[in-house]
Structure 1
Amino acid sequence: MDRFRRVSAAVVTAVAVLAGAGGAAASSGVPAPPVRPSVAKPAALPALSARTTVRTVAAWQEFRVHGPARHLPAGTKVTLQQKQGKRWVSLPASMKTNRNHSYNLRVLLGLRGKNTLRIVGGGAVSPVMRVTVR
């Protein structure tokens, strides 16, 4: 109730000043409401999680990479990347996140040995996954 009175007094004072009766409003003795600094909450950073359905797979055998996409809008494109030497190379395996903010990607790998994979999209990068191709 007290807040309502202060806001009402501020509105009346503002209207009086705009109408040209600034002297009368200033001498009325109505205290101005305190000014509160606006504290903006930091925006949540986008995050991707990733899991594989297998740890070891035969060459060119299909497996899945899936996980949630937090703080990313539905329809954000996510892409599978593979570490080749010191570089991350985007593979031709990508999809858009669904309305539940998750993805489920089918993957085929032919590079034998230990493969290091990750998912990228929407400014987020997932933790590294390792899959051995025999």
Structure 2
Amino acid sequence: MAITKRHSLRIAAVGVISAASVVLAGTVASAATPAPGSSVAQATAAEAGIIAKPSATSVKAWQLFRVTGTATGLKAGSKMVLQQKQGAKWVSLPAVTQLSSRGTYSLGVKLGLKGKNDLRILSGNTASPVFDVTVH
């Protein structure tokens, strides 16, 4: 009986400590989270974005060029995917990289579709402004 009683007390103590930790974590999280509608919350949402810059705006078919840029509001290691507009759809190309801890990325690209290619970088639901590269 003494072992069962000690075991019950230990479980109760762990439960109280766990509950206190959850309450404390919730208090810290709510203190760190800006109130909805506040200027800080709006600034954070407005900061999420991607900037993309091609190293060339005109290339020969299958000529290597680079797309570099920065991203804000995204986690380091986020997948950065190059997309090409084909008709009315955006198609992900096999040019993928990860966002560095500094918020930068760089990827090598070769395009074979001749003419003006509308491109963008996508990460999750965030996309860069469209830029174009002409292939001759």
- Please report the TM-score for the alignment, with normalisation by the length of structure 1: 0.69
Q: Which string of whole-angstrom CA distances, capped at 9 and with x for unpartnered residues, describes residues 14-46 of structure 1?
A: xxxxxxxxxxxxxxxxxxxxxxxx962316232
Greater per-residue helix proportion: 2
Q: Which has the larger radius of gyration?
A: 1
Q: 1:119 & 1:39 partners in 2: Cα distance? A: 29
1:89 equivalenced with 2:91 (yes/no): yes
Displacement of 1:87 in angstroms is 0.4
| Structure 2 gaps, min length 5 | 1-32
**Secondary structure of the structure 2 residue equivalent to 1:120:** strand
- Relative to the length of structure 2, the TM-score reads 0.68
* Alpha-carbon distance between aligned partners in 1 of 2:113 and 2:96, rounded to the nearest angstrom: 18
Q: Structure 1: which 5+ runs fail to align?
A: 1-37
In the other structure, the counterpart of 1:34 is none
Return the offset for 1:99.
1.2
| Deviation sequence 1:73-103 (CA, Å, 0-9, x none) | 1100010000000000000001110111110
Residue type of the alignment partner of 2:49: A
CA distance in 2, matches of 1:39, 1:50: 29
> Counterpart amino acid of 1:101?
G
Secondary structure, aligned partner of 1:67:
strand
Pick from 68, 71, 75 the counterpart of residue 70 of structure 2: 68
**CA–CA distance in 2 between the matches of 1:122 and 1:51?**
19
User: Cα RMSD between the aligned structures?
Assistant: 1.5
In the TM superposition, structure 1's runs of 4+ consecutive aligned residues that sit over 2 Å from their partners are none
